Structure 1
Amino acid sequence: MSEENEIIEDITIREAIDSIYDMLAELPKENGFKNTKFFVDDGYSGVSFTRPAFMELMELAEAGQIETIIVKDHSRLGRNRLVVGQLLEEDFVRLGVRYIAIMDNIDTKDGLSDFLPVQDWFNEMHAKNTSKKVRAVFQNKGMSGKPLTTVIPYGYKKNEANPDEWLVDEEAAEVVRKIFRLCVEGYGPTQIANILFSEGVPTPTEYWQSQGRKTSALPAVPHKWAARTVADILERQEYIGDTVNFRSTTRSFKDKTKIERPKEEWKVFENTHEAIIDRETWVFVQTLRANKRRPNRTGEVSMFSGLLYCGDCGEKLYYSVTNNYSREQAYFFCSNYRKNTVNCTAHYIREKVVYALVLESLRRVLFYVQAFEKQFVREQFEKSNEEQKKELAKKRQALTKSEKRISELDVLFQRIYEDNVSGKLTDERFSIMSASYEAEQKSLKETVAMLRNEIEAQDDKIANVLVFVEKVKRYTEIKELTPAIVNEFIDYIMVSKKQIIDGKTVYPIDIYYNGVGIITAPSAEEYEEMFQERLKQKRAKEQKTA
């Protein structure tokens, strides 16, 4: 539409609104109505009766301050036949309110037409059809990859030349990066919110208002971030450059209550705009968020919280600080044992012991991978031995068989339905057979989902090993552990019951690294043999070249 047409349309709309005002103002003058007041709900749907101006009108009517209600046409009162019927036949009668619809020649002083309920039904159907058309437009727009949300995520701004395009708002984007960085370092939403508050970082609402954007009310305390706001930012997939549509819907064209859709119903379009957070970091943060680490009663969180599990019962190990809250004495213990001492043993292990064991393991693993990368990769691939490969082949066969049976059940169900309609199969028999088919199909679909996950996990093994190697290459030496390092490398740690060997207390733990599981680094003697073998191969190669 050209700028000239936009101006003409705007003038036409204003003239139409003005003519309605004139019409509504003229009738009271001609009929002697005094003390008139206009109630306008501009931009609100007629199917809703929580419109601000309408609610104000009804409050005045309940207080006995309204004698007559005048509308241009009957649909302006509302487009919900049940509510409109109750207003006309019960509420207005009870309140002694006269109702006039000018264009429809309705005046309750003269009684209500028998045709009025039909008219109310048509008004409602008009709203329903309009709603369908609007939903169809949104459906088409959403499926095209254009963002449906009207609230652009903090960190982005609209492109003035193309409102459907998002540009990075660098000032706000830097705060988003800081929030993700703090999460990787082990801080939770509440702690991050407190850090931002202490540093005087404006909240999204404050920042948007400073940019001239219309928002809700400012926080009561300046720069007071809410933990929920931080959590929402950490969960937004849009920050990796994806558009996510159809996150929510409404109950019906009458009930606008927002309903969150399950994630499998979302429509995701990748790389539609510039990313603020890289995909690997975002996925990593979602993993951390799924395994939330809550502060203990002292407000402290260990970098290992949420990572330690009991080697016997599989339950998590709780973090605790005692002895006047000395961090030196902090320890982990089996949560199952604390609940009921007969279920397990304490599996007591101090935090500083875990720190020392993990640091030593990481140093050995990093040295091994960096010095003998090819051998490490080969060993990881060889973990998928012949037996595992056979098992994978069986799963693929089972998947194919289950998918085939699901298709067969669809055909069988169609056949018995047709037999039931034609009278060849009784309703009782159809009910029994259809229930049996549906139960079998439901079970098969669950099996298919499980098999697909297991097969995908096995297929991802090579990619996971290569990703792990790339992570290792980013470090030359680890002198101390940080939450970021622990989160980047460690998946979880199994702690077994402590043992006494040769008079020394030993804490058996198994460290599972992200994507690769347990890594057994060579001993000093094995390293010596490996280096000698490498030197031998190098000399042989030099002699062959000479």
Structure 2
Amino acid sequence: MNTKQSDKRITALYARLSRDDEKEGISGSIQNQKAILEKYAKDNKLQNPRFFYDDGFSGVTFTRPAFMEIMELAEQGMIGTIVVKDHSRLGRNRLVVGQLLEEDFVRLDIRYIAIMDNIDTEKGISDIVPMQDLFNEWHAKNTSDKVRKVMQSKGMSGKPLTTNPPFGYMKSPDNKDEWIVDEPAAKIVRRIFDLCVSGLGPTQIAKKLRSEKVLTPTEYWNSIGRKCSKPPTIPYGWVADTVSGILDKQEYCGDTVNFRTYRKSFKMKKKLDKPKDEWKVFPDTHPAIIDRETFELVQELRKHRRRPTKSGIVSMFSGLLYCADCGEKLYYSVTNNYKREQAYFFCSAYRKNSDVCSAHYIREKVVEQLVLESMQRVLWYVQSYEKLFAQRQLAEFGEKQKKEFAEKRRELDKSKLRVREIDGIIQKLYEDNATGKISDERFATMSMSLENEQSELKDRIPALEDELENAKVKTEGLQRFIDKAKRVTRLEALTSELVHEFIEKIVVSAPEYKDGKRYQEVAIHYNGVGIIREPTAEEMEEYFQEHISKKSFLKAKTA
């Protein structure tokens, strides 16, 4: 590079401040760094000084706006010198900092100066610099550990860990850890849930909100002056992901949900999702926008995603019909050439390979009629003979299942106790090994055997918990089903909401032909109770007579 080109190159005065540094006070502030850098540039007659800064960015990441701008200019040959107050301002990732000093700055012919650490690449790099990079990284790790422990403590106390409340809430003016309902936004949230219950999916809901010119969360927050990212370039730009995010949030039931995500390393800023069973949920910590029953119904609806056909038609039964022979779902089919009355379901396995299964063809209108008639009979049965219904359902649970439930409960408790015992045994073995009571070889053999046993138990425990939960749901679901059934006063037509509230699945058998007539078995499984066998006329008469006899006996005894 000739001297004339070199004279035009910029001296980048770079300052960085992370949120943790900010807590240390004014000595680490951007303004203080700027004053030091400008004075150094003036005293040392550095050419074309230009100030760059990243405020609120960790030294672990290098995707900082100002630093990336410097490197882009450097690639164009426009940066001659980079000056920082101290070496940690450049970054706290020793691998990246090492590559910058030893490769990138050399390749780009950049002089690097860290004022307080007496580093100047023009004079050569001291052997102690890599050690400084290591200490700087340790500092970042220790800071990250401290922050994580603080957040862990806060999260376990039931305080929300999110910086900003979800759309529909705002922070209370009196307590920043308390959420209150933001009614204009909450109205939109309720509408999204109502649209989902009515049968629309996230894409259809987003399209409807766009057509109605409803403000997106970001647009709304900007309109009320809440600090957030720049508004989208497309007005009312609702997308399916935004709608899905709202429909997934348990916080709308009034719960605080902490520890949804985690990071693999303090160097990684990307958050990964945790399994749901590792979340920490604190019920009823703030006012609910959506009642729990509606929220659970929406989650159930979303399990059975109902994609519209090419004609845009969605069936209320989509996702609920299963093949009795192969267990696969039944596809819904309707085209513009057909009338809605001709829409039908058929086995998805048969569609992929006709040798695997048969079509199990059934029209949508037939399913609708069967479900309507079944629900009418079942609801009448529950409302008129609640006690008989409950007795029969519990009897079906059976003594055998109750014994299995008790055995699994004992096995679960025993497994959890053994896991804790193994922790104690391994700790004792470690102490014995450290004091020389047992050899290293013996310690390795015993600890490996115990760890394998513990690992097997830990794998078994979730399965046992699931089995127990399913049995528990069977008994608890019965009362919920009765309560729901008693609220439906008159059923004349089906809605998507009613179908998914009451129906778990519909199992369709292959049709049979007898005497030229088509017969097809359809088994309707109800949520929480399974298949409901309605009593015969003789059973109803027997129950009725027994009921009347008991009433007569009680009246006579009272008299």
TM-score (norm 2): 0.87
1:313 aligns with 2:360: no
**Residue aligned with 1:222, SS:** coil
Which residue identity does 2:86 align to in structure 1? Answer: D
**Residue aligned with 1:135, SS:** helix
For residues 495-534 of structure 1, the aligned pairs below 5 Å read 495-501=508-514, 504-523=517-536, 527=540, 531=544, 534=547
The change in CA–CA distance for 1:448 and 1:255 in structure 2 (over 3 A counts) is: closer
Structure 1 stretch displaced more, 235-244 or 520-529: 520-529
What fraction of aligned residue pairs are identical, expressed as a percent?
A: 60
**Residue aligned with 1:167, SS:** strand
Q: CA deviation at 1:536?
A: 5.8
Counterparts of 2:133 and 2:145 in 1: how far apart (Å)? Answer: 19
Q: CA deviation at 1:473?
A: 1.2
1:135 aligns with 2:148: yes
Q: Which residue of 2 aligns with 1:172?
A: 185
Q: Which residue of 1 aligns with 2:471?
A: 458
1:283 aligns with 2:305: no
Q: CA deviation at 1:245?
A: 1.4
Provide Cα deviations, 1:492-529, integer angstroms capped at 9, x if missing partner: 11111223456543321111111011112234565566
* Gap runs ≥5 in structure 2: 1-21
Structure 1 stretch displaced more, 85-94 or 224-233: 85-94
CA contact (8 A) 1:298 1:325 kept: no
Q: CA deviation at 1:363?
A: 0.5
Structure 1 stretch displaced more, 390-399 or 453-462: 390-399
**Residue aligned with 2:281, SS:** strand
For residues 467-546 of structure 1, the aligned pairs below 5 Å read 467-501=480-514, 504-523=517-536, 527=540, 531=544, 534=547, 538=551, 545=558
Q: CA deviation at 1:70?
A: 2.2
**Residue aligned with 1:164, SS:** coil
**Residue aligned with 1:130, SS:** helix
CA contact (8 A) 2:502 2:526 kept: yes
Provide Cα deviations, 1:18-72, integer angstroms capped at 9, x if missing partner: 4433332223333333322111112112222222111211222222222222222
Structure 1 stretch displaced more, 78-87 or 328-337: 78-87
The change in CA–CA distance for 1:46 and 1:374 in structure 2 (over 3 A counts) is: same
Among 21, 46, 70, the residue aligned to 1:33: 46
Counterparts of 1:394 and 1:448 in 2: how far apart (Å)? Answer: 14
For residues 315-464 of structure 1, the aligned pairs below 5 Å read 315-322=328-335, 324-400=337-413, 402-403=415-416, 406=419, 422=436, 427=441, 437-464=450-477
1:230 aligns with 2:243: yes
CA contact (8 A) 1:332 1:351 kept: yes
Which residue identity does 1:342 align to in structure 2? Answer: D
Counterparts of 1:158 and 1:148 in 2: how far apart (Å)? Answer: 13
Counterparts of 1:25 and 1:379 in 2: how far apart (Å)? Answer: 85
CA contact (8 A) 2:304 2:318 kept: no
Q: Which residue of 2 aligns with 1:155?
A: 168
Q: Which residue of 2 aligns with 1:56?
A: 69
CA-based RMSD of the aligned residues comes to: 2.9
**Residue aligned with 2:43, SS:** helix
The change in CA–CA distance for 1:526 and 1:209 in structure 2 (over 3 A counts) is: same
Counterparts of 1:247 and 1:394 in 2: how far apart (Å)? Answer: 33
Structure 1 stretch displaced more, 279-288 or 487-496: 279-288
Which residue identity does 2:44 align to in structure 1? Answer: N
CA contact (8 A) 1:165 1:273 kept: yes
Q: CA deviation at 1:181?
A: 1.9
The change in CA–CA distance for 1:430 and 1:347 in structure 2 (over 3 A counts) is: farther
Which residue identity does 1:222 align to in structure 2? Answer: P
The change in CA–CA distance for 1:93 and 1:200 in structure 2 (over 3 A counts) is: closer
For residues 54-93 of structure 1, the aligned pairs below 5 Å read 54-93=67-106
* Gap runs ≥5 in structure 1: 1-8
Counterparts of 1:424 and 1:116 in 2: how far apart (Å)? Answer: 44
The change in CA–CA distance for 1:415 and 1:295 in structure 2 (over 3 A counts) is: same
Counterparts of 1:277 and 1:404 in 2: how far apart (Å)? Answer: 39
For residues 163-202 of structure 1, the aligned pairs below 5 Å read 163-202=176-215
**Residue aligned with 2:177, SS:** strand
The change in CA–CA distance for 1:106 and 1:456 in structure 2 (over 3 A counts) is: closer
Give the number of equivalent residue pairs. 536
Counterparts of 2:133 and 2:208 in 1: how far apart (Å)? Answer: 57
Counterparts of 1:175 and 1:156 in 2: how far apart (Å)? Answer: 12
Q: CA deviation at 1:479?
A: 0.5
